[in-house]
Amino acid sequence: MTKNKNNYVVIMAGGIGSRFWPLSKRNYPKQFHDILGVGKSLLRLTYDRFAEFIEPNNIYIITNTTYTLLVSEQIPELPTANIIDEPAAMNTAPCVAYASFKLFAKNPEANIVFAPSDHLITDEKTFKDSLITALNYTETHHKLITLGIKPNRPDTGYGYIQQHDKAIDEGLFMVKTFTEKPNLELAKTFIESGDFSWNSGIFIWTAKDILQEFETHQNDMYELFEKGMGKYNTLEEAAFIHVQYPQCKSISIDYAIMEKTKIAAIMPVDFGWSDLGTWKSLFVLRDKDENNNLKHGNNIELYQSSNCLIVQEANPNKLVVVEGYDDAIIVDTEDILFISHLSKEQEVRDITNDIKDKYKGKFS
């Protein structure tokens, strides 16, 4: 297959995955773990997926400076120049703006996929076909495309995107509304209406078009990065970004651009997607034993227990024995033992924040 030299992907790998605490922590977030038990980290799986249809030299990974070495270790074939360092965690809008300016400076015709590093895709052929279709469209049309996941349940953990009735092209619609994590009743209404999709956080657009929208809707941020024209992809870039990047407003690309632009389009897709946002999402997806228990790690024995998720990463020689539990998350790492109800998995982030405050970041 011939790969279009103007097509790029930027894999966003700077998050800390706080709802996967204590396995995912600041020094080793979930995208660097093999949480699917397949012998590859989520980041490695994401890279391999895109390498099927994007030129290797056109694959970039943007991550916090803290994780640059981890990225190099897990993707050793990735050129160092293709690892984009964020000097501060500022959410996805600054990340997108920086990478877009950098790629525009390299190739004004750059046509870019922005995608998270820690999602699960089970139907990789449909994923590839969908993105190639989207890239072909944005190459010749001024649209910002987001992939919408066809929902199969009224989930309150996802954002929802409503599409207009009439397609602008086969399988492509203009965006009507965005709704962030609705309550259950509203989510049920969305599902029944048939014109809502889950927000996947996967975007496709040209560098030229997204920068135009930054100039229009986030002019302060645009001007911060625009000062670097002439410095991107040179030895001067790092020093410039170190000063400019922390001055950005911390805001998501959804709030900063997608909810304001007039050219947002949605492509509803179905390729076996999960954002793997919580322990329960992992529990639902992975194989369980005859008592509906998921065991991740070595030497785990359960007795009279069901519906449990047990993770043992503290010591491969350690024996973990669980007796008489139902609906439990038990995660044993080198410095933390975490036990909770599986049904309370949405509260992990709050617990993480509390522990961070109480122990001054020691266990986070």
Q: What's the confidence (pLDDT) of residue 1?
A: 64
pLDDT digits (tens, 9 = 90+) for 72-120: 999 999 999 999 999 998 999 999 999 999 999 999 999 999 999 999 9
Q: 6: number of CA atoms within 13 Å, CB side?
A: 15
Q: What's the confidence (pLDDT) of residue 33?
A: 94
User: For the chain, which residues score pLDDT lower than 70?
Assistant: 1
Spatial contact of 115 and 92, defined as CB atoms under 8 Å apart: no
CB pairs under 8 A, 24+ apart, for 49-53? 49/121, 49/124, 49/127, 49/128, 50/9, 50/11, 50/113, 50/115, 52/124, 52/128, 53/1, 53/3, 53/7, 53/128, 53/131, 53/132
Q: What's the confidence (pLDDT) of residue 152?
A: 84
Spatial contact of 305 and 291, defined as CB atoms under 8 Å apart: yes
Q: What's the confidence (pLDDT) of residue 193?
A: 86
Contact residues for 252 (Cβ-Cβ < 8 A; gap 6+): 91, 92, 93
CA angle 283, 289, 294 (to 5 degrees): 30
Residue with tokens 């969908």: 130
Residue 294 sits at φ, ψ, to 5 deg, of -105, 120
| Exposure string for 126-161, b = 16+ CB within 10 A, e = fewer | ebbebbbbbbebbeeeebbbbbbbebeebbeebbbb
Q: What's the confidence (pLDDT) of residue 316?
A: 82
Spatial contact of 254 and 93, defined as CB atoms under 8 Å apart: no
Q: What's the confidence (pLDDT) of residue 310?
A: 96
Spatial contact of 203 and 113, defined as CB atoms under 8 Å apart: yes
Taking the C-alpha atoms of residue 47 and residue 213, their distance in angstroms, rounded to an integer, is 28
Taking the C-alpha atoms of residue 57 and residue 204, their distance in angstroms, rounded to an integer, is 18
Q: What's the confidence (pLDDT) of residue 154?
A: 84
Taking the C-alpha atoms of residue 338 and residue 359, their distance in angstroms, rounded to an integer, is 15
Contact residues for 115 (Cβ-Cβ < 8 A; gap 6+): 9, 10, 11, 12, 46, 50, 201, 202, 203
Coil, strand, or helix at residue 274? strand
- List of domains in the chain: 7-274 (3.90.550.10), 283-358 (no CATH)
pLDDT digits (tens, 9 = 90+) for 42-78: 999 999 999 999 999 999 999 999 999 999 999 999 9
